[in-house]
Amino acid sequence: MAKGILSYGVYIPRFRIRLEEIARVWGDGEEISEGLRVLEKSVPDLDEDTVTIAVEAARNAIDRCSADPKRIGAIYAGSESHPYAVKPTATIVGQAVCSSSSFTAADFEFACKAGTAALQACLGMVGSGLIDLGLAIGADVSQGAPGDMLEYTAAAGGAAYLIGSQDLAAEIEDTYSFTTDTPDFWRREGMPYPEHGGRFTGEPAYFKHVTGAARGLMKRLGTVPEDYDYAVFHQPNGKFPLRVSRMLGFSKTQIEPGLIVPLIGNTYSASCLIGLAATLDVARPGERIFVTSFGSGAGSDAFSIRVTDRIDEIRCRAPSVRDYIGGGEYLDYAMYARHKGKLRV
Amino acid sequence: MRSVSIIGVGCTKFGERWDVSLRDMIAEAGVLAIDDAEISGEQIDALYVGNMSGGRFVEQEHIGALIADCAGLSRLHVPSTRVEAACASGGLALRQGILAVASGYSDIVIAAGVEKMTDVSSGTAADALAAAADREWECFFGATFPALYAMMARLHMRRYGTTHDQMAAVAVKNHHHACYNPIAQYQMEISIEDVSRSPMVADPLHILDCSPISDGAAAVVLAPTEMAKKLSESPIKVAASAQASDTLALHDRRDLTTLDATVHAGRAAFVQAGIEPRMVDVAEVHDCFTIAEILAIEDLGFVEKGQGGQATEEGLTAIGSSLPVNTSGGLKACGHPVGATGIKQAYEIALQLRGEAGRRQVDEAEVGLAHNVGGSGGTALVHIFTR
């Protein structure tokens, strides 16, 4: 039985802050933006959080395929910035988008890959026949401590995917994960901002896991980079996905459509799911997409996806990723600090 | 006093060794050295290990017993001693091993060095390293190591007309040498412009003027020269081992542009070995910053005071010239796991004198020198080796 994506939806807040504005405040050089290959990042509005972003993305996903929300049997919400430590995000989303109570729900957390973990869980539920449709969400209003390197990229955004077995816009051919206990980035209970291992987040964390999962999946499927029209990798900055695609043998052309981090920053659990959405926004029927997420702690989920004829029918029924980029309102650091709740009174 | 020789050497790859621990690296270096010497564990009489700050870097002290245990020697109850002199810990471990053999107390001795620095944040590492300076009179007032060496550099520039391009030439040359060294952390070429454009750390020192934070371990096997002739086909003789100290704080020095500890240790070593500086064929010197190599070649008497920058710029210290300095890539490009550095220098000189340095081999190298500094010059060690 083929399983995959019926529909997808994204949401990115309209506020932006330029990296040079953050660098101005902290006295860092302008070259920081060039080094990270990120120009600006999205910032949530005063009343936006992971829940509101997840709801917006979920509504866009449902609107795009006109599916009856009553068919949704599972909602899994992945985030590292759930507004409650105890009290699910997924139930709030469910109440907002479903008109039934007949669904299971849970929140996922796995740093930046909670969204793809939720997607895999939905695939399992659909594949086993336990549910008809599953809603997998990755959404974050990620945190970076003032002055920390993370502050330059920690952004806000969400993506939602309706997973099922009929009327697929894209079939998920296979998925493969690579997971180890690698403490490259963490936030302990009660702490407002995450900590990280500096350069340790690169080679032994991001690159090892992304290449581990990607190579594992291609080996199992007997595919090579040339078999794919597009590739999407987790985008903590603009540099890492470029480098990892080179390491794996993918070209710049393959990753270009999904590489949105320079204009919105790292949306954490939504990062590679928004990248996939941007790719689905332009992909033609029959084309193949290779996706690999990364979550600190650490693990990667790789997916091999084939776009179907239905993509052309549903594509324009909801806002594209590009619809959320451009025309944003720029904040200075003071307003940004207020939006992010960095000022405590 | 007995003459002492090196009969075996070993060194791990230097760099960000995320996949191994301190004990893994010391075992790796130890096994390489013992294999090279073709000896067995039962023959080892004593161990010395240089380690600056296991406590701060990996929360492990008592490194002496640890390395004996890791080497599988615990059941033999071999005496094992950790020595510390900041970045000169390795050189000091080598000297302690040499003294033990020279005195007749021990025959076969392992001198090792190890540091695992990348398990902590760069801030924690910088603070641990700052403990090599005068905590009360320098660090509490905001001085860091780059800041202290930057002051030496500024005065050297003012007094002798040394330029930043001349300092950058040290980094460029050492990176070039490191390209030929399989254990080096940075096997890549850089240009003068790369150094000048890299982020400023402490004016005039840019990030590429500074040695990195590294993991690594090295070990050498020492034996009395008479015994070494029977045990090894290519023993390397220790012609001199000298050590000197100076004020801990930079501001108490006689001269900010001279490391008197280097001058005194160097002079003593040349007297012991009965040679002149010009007779040295290859040298490993302590280039924790680019200015430090310029000071070292002056203070060791290879060039006149004030001429170090120009000599480097003219290529005097590159492989192929009259005095190749830091053929390993030095601390700058081979890496600087502080406790291991002094032993790695002896490892590099031994390879050069044995003719086993591959593409970085110095032709007909017969006399080699290793110079290891602790802190900003509170300790200096100079060893001279001959074939």
Question: Is B83 found in the same domain as B42?
Answer: yes
What pLDDT, on the 0 to 100 scale, is given for residue A98? 81
One domain, residues B362 and B372: yes
Is the domain of A153 the same as that of A210? Answer: no
In a domain, B127, yes or no: no
Would an 8 Å CB–CB cutoff place B121 in contact with chain A?
Answer: yes
Average pLDDT over residues B32-44: 95
- From the CB of residue A179, how many other CB atoms can be counted at a distance below 10 Å? 17
- In terms of domains, do B95 and B229 share one? yes
B206 is catalytic: no
Tally of CA atoms within 13 A in the half-sphere of B272 that contains its CB: 21
**Tens of pLDDT, residues A89-116:** 999 999 999 878 999 999 999 999 999 9
Task: Check CB contact of A198 with chain B, cutoff 8 Å.
Answer: yes
Q: What is the pLDDT of residue A99?
A: 76
Same domain, B106 and B202: no
- B229 and B327 inside one domain: no
Our count of domains for chain A comes to 2
Same structural domain, A178 and A154: no
Chain A residues in contact with B19 by the CB 8 A cut-off are 204
- The predicted model scores a pTM of 0.85
- The reply to whether B252 touches chain A by the CB within 8 Å rule is no
How close does chain B come to A149, measured CA to CA in Å? Answer: 13
Residue-wise pLDDT tens digits, B283-331: 999 999 999 999 999 999 999 999 999 999 999 999 999 999 999 999 9
The total domain count for chain B is 2
Among A130-144, A201-215, B116-130, name the one with the lowest average pLDDT: B116-130
Same domain for B104 and B52: yes
Rounded-to-integer distance, Cα A2 and Cα A127, Å: 8
Domain co-membership, A9 together with A87: yes
Q: Do A36 and A149 belong together in one domain?
A: yes
Distance from CA of A199 to the nearest CA of B (A): 9
Residues A188 and A307 in one domain: yes
Burial bucket for residue A275 (CB in 10 Å: 0-12, 13-18, 19+): buried
ipTM: 0.71
The 3-state DSSP class for residue A258 equals helix
B305 and B255, same domain (yes or no)? yes
B384 contacts B345 by C-beta, under 8 angstroms: no
pLDDT of residue A31: 83
Tokens of B268: 């003593």
**CB neighbour list of residue A30: distance below 8 Å, 6 or more residues apart:** A20, A23
* Residues of chain A found within 8 Å of residue B118, distances taken between Cβ atoms: 199-200
Rounded to a whole number, what is the distance in Å from the CA of A263 to chain B's nearest CA?
Answer: 25
B-interface mutation test, from A34, A199, A203, A207, most B Cβ less than 10 A away: A199
| Closest residue by Cα to residue B149 from B167, B161, B136 | B167
CB-based contacts of A128, cutoff 8 Å, min separation 6: none
Give the total residue count for chain B.
Answer: 387
Domain annotation covers residue A143: yes
B77 within some domain: yes
- For chain B, the average pLDDT equals 97
Residue where the block lists tokens 């603009």: A238
Q: Which domain holds residue B78?
A: 4-121+214-236
Whether residue B248 is contained in a domain is answered as yes
Tell me the sheet residues that pair with B219: B10, B112
CATH number at residue A69: 3.40.47.10
- Torsions phi, psi for A122 (to 5 deg): -65, -40
**Domain ranges, residue A174:** 170-312
Asked if B124 is an interface residue toward chain A (Cβ–Cβ < 8 A), one would say: no
Asked if residue B313 is part of any domain, the answer here is yes
Least confident of A66-70, A234-238, B245-249, B317-321: A66-70
Q: What is the DSSP letter of B278?
A: G
Instruction: Please measure the distance between the N-terminal and C-terminal CA atoms of chain A and give it in whole angstroms.
Output: 56
Segment (H or E) for A10: strand A4-11
* CATH of residue B242: 3.40.47.10
Note whether A64 and A82 are same-domain residues.
yes
> Looking at residue B373, what DSSP letter applies?
E
Report the alpha-carbon distance of residue A302 to residue A244 in Å, rounded. 13
Measure Cα distances from A54 to A80, A93, A159, B169, B172 in Å: 13, 7, 7, 55, 52
Q: What is the mean pLDDT of residues A44-56?
A: 97
Cα dihedral sign for A208, A213, A216, A219?
A: negative
- Final residue before a domain boundary, out of B236, B270, B298: B236
Q: Is residue A319 part of a domain?
A: no
Is pLDDT at A30 greater than 80 in this prediction? no
Separation in Å, CA of B289 to nearest CA in chain A: 22
User: Do residues A154 and A41 make contact, with C-beta atoms less than 8 angstroms apart?
Assistant: yes
Whole-angstrom Cα distance, residue A17 to residue A40?
Answer: 6
In a domain, A201, yes or no: yes
Domain annotation covers residue B126: no
B199–A203 CB contact, under 8 Å: no
**Minimum CA–CA partner of B200 in chain A:** A29
Residue B272 lies in a domain: yes
Which residues have CB under 8 Å from B198's CB, separation 6+? B206, B207, B208
User: What pLDDT does A344 receive?
Assistant: 82
According to the model, what pLDDT value does residue B121 have?
A: 87
The candidate with the shortest Cα–Cα distance to B129, out of B200, B56, B199, is B56
DSSP string, A65-90: HT--GGGEEEEEEE-S--S-SSS-HH
Contacts of B121 in chain A (CB under 8 A): 197-198
Question: Which residue from A minimizes the CA distance to B123?
Answer: A198
Same domain, A269 and A137: no
Residue A325 is assigned to a structural domain of this protein: no
